[in-house]
Amino acid sequence: MAQTGPTELSVTETPIPGLLVVRLPLHGDSRGWFKENWQRAKMTALGLPDFGPVQNNMSFNAARGATRGIHTEPWDKFVSVATGRVFAAWVDMRAGDSFGATYSVEIGPDVAVFVPRGVGNSYQALEDGTVYSYLVNDHWRPGFAYPALHLADPTAAIAWPIPLDSEEVEISAKDLANPTLAEVTPMQPKRTLILGAGGQLGRALAAVFPDAEQVDRSRLDITSAAAVEAWPWHEYDVVLNAAAYTAVDQAETDAGRVAAWTVNAVAPALLARVATEHRLTLVHVSSDYVFDGVIPTGSTDEGHTEDEPFSPLGVYGQSKAAGDIAAATTPRHYVVRTSWVIGEGNNFVRTMAGLAGDGVSPKVVSDQIGRLTFTSTLADAIAHLVRSRAPYGTYHVSNAGEPLSWQQIAAEVFELSGRAREDVSATTTQEYFAGAAAAGRPISPRPLNSVLSLAKIRSVGFEPEDQLEMLKGYLA
């Protein structure tokens, strides 16, 4: 037996979004044939999703005419035939514009099909002793209901090679009782989960992910292994972790050190583990504090780059660096580092605006430089990464424009508030914290250069707005 079927592996699209037909070369001789039924590297290179199968099932059909389906499982599957031939038909049961779309193809050993979650599948054996197998990327759970469709549904109008009323056809009583398409409740897509929803970034994320579920620590304690393990992660596909311990000075105390490491390091490690287990996309938000504020010698970038080695100065930065490492252990991750965040609630800009309105002329540090990051920009960047399916990895995000010191930003706020820029005087970081240090209050060391390179986030098509333009709108 010589080579039969296609000579090269190929993947083609169908009218149902995400349903892909795979043509498999068969290598044969007088003894029979051999095929690479599932070859992750080759198939994903051709566009098949890297769907992470966890179970392999086999279905034996004793006689021609055995007909199964139409079943809509809540997982992805890769279907192929070991021996014999089947007629296979699919109906899109997902909510959306493609609901009700159909596609059919005859499958033998040289054809396989990738079936995305929410697409109903059915099979009719065309030969006696047919065996087909399917890889799935989730385990079956008892009591879990999902949509089904009658094999003779008039809307789908599947052209069965062996008519369903033929004496050859055998259908289970359960499949005969399936509803018509008009009676089916479409399968909803998996959801997005926002952690730390009550914070300023969490609120901004809710605005750009309006259908996301929002939770805070009172509902899901992400520092508890038991609580994380018990959460129904199979209902989600994207997790946005905006929860963080941000009291940088309190992190230098005994209690604060424990709290910072628990929230900023332990929690991302727990989330990374479930993200790997459930094939979730994990977005974890980090900080410029993972760096010491010194741009490496010889760097040609405008600021800290994503691949710069960690060099945190204080406990807060150390805990955030540990969280970065933990989050990056799951394959589908975006670690988004940011700096000088401004959103709803108390922040530097609102404090300066309040002082301007109260007639106060403050001293502000002039030896720390960076760029503001408005939470709306940060949320938009995260949405861009997720929705554009940018390459997984670490990205730096801040607003754009010339880097400024805190004193220069305060002067901008004063001018926009109707005060003179000169009403904000300059001081150094050491001078500013001298009183607190003398009084024994905890002070965390600050990086003096918090400028983050924006080259990588720009390379995937996101252009942050200028920080001073955003500042004008924010104060307005």
Q: Residues with catalytic annotation?
A: 71, 134
Which residues are CB-neighbours of 50 under 8 A, at least 6 positions away? 40, 44
Nearest 5°: the CA angle 255, 230, 198 is: 55
Q: Which of 317, 315, 294, 314 is nearest to 304 (CA)?
A: 294
CB-based contact 394:329 (threshold 8 Å): no
> Cα separations (Å) of 111 from 78, 81, 90, 132, 195?
11, 7, 15, 11, 42
Query: Distance (Å, rounded) from C-alpha 136 to C-alpha 417?
Result: 60
**Cα distance from N-terminal residue to C-terminal residue, the chain:** 78
Which tokens belong to 394?
A: 């670490």
Identify the H or E element spanning 131: strand 130-136
Q: Which residues contact 230 (CB under 8 A, 6 or more apart)?
A: none
Cα–Cα distance for residue pair 447/317, rounded to 1 Å:
10
Please state whether the peptide bond connecting residue 107 to the residue before it is cis, i.e. omega within 30 degrees of 0. Answer: no
Cα dihedral sign, 405-410-416-420: negative
Rounded CA separation 288/320 (Å): 9
Cβ–Cβ under 8 Å, residues 246 and 388? no
Please tell me the distance from the alpha carbon of residue 149 to that of residue 163, in angstroms, as a whole number: 17
CA 297 to chain centre: 34
**Length in residues, the chain:** 476
CA distance to 56, 135, 180, 438, per residue, from 252 (Å): 51, 50, 64, 16
Residue 168 CA, distance from chain mean position = 47
